[in-house]
Structure 1
Amino acid sequence: MLKWALIFLVISLVAGALGFTGIASGAKTIAKVLFGLFLVLFLILLLLAWSAGEMMF
């Protein structure tokens, strides 16, 4: 998911540099949503792993 967010970020930067502002804003929005989902899933999995480690001891 982070890979796709980075790909859309690069697409947004290239499209913005070439003057395609509509494509750039769309790709930016998709990149922001994917990065947000990545962060939420990362934090959930981090908390689950932390709590599983606590229960073992």
Structure 2
Amino acid sequence: MRSYQTARSLYSFLGFLAWCIIVVGALVAFDGGAATQAIGRNAGPIQFLLAAMPGS
């Protein structure tokens, strides 16, 4: 019976990296939304969400 320990280890590491990227992306998106408040404008929740959307 073959052991796929190396493949399991590699995919576990890649899964960890993927979750790190997801978390960092969420933080960057939230920071983009928070930038609407930092500019000094009185931005509402719609402007906050639009600023937090990727690609905007």
TM-score with structure 2 setting the length: 0.59
Q: Deviations along 1:3-36, whole A, 9 cap, x unmatched?
A: xxxxxxxxxxxxxxxx661111000100110000
Give percent identity, aligned residues only.
10
Q: Relative contact order (C-alpha < 8 Å, sep 6+): which is higher?
A: 1
- Higher-Rg structure is 2
How many pairs were matched up? 39
**Deviation beyond 2 Å, 4+ runs, structure 1:** 53-57
TM-score, length basis structure 1: 0.58
**5+ unaligned residues in a row in structure 2: which ranges?**
42-56
C-alpha root-mean-square deviation of aligned residues, in Å?
1.7
Structure 1 residue runs of 5 or longer lacking an equivalent are 1-18
**Structure with more of its chain in helix, by fraction:** 1
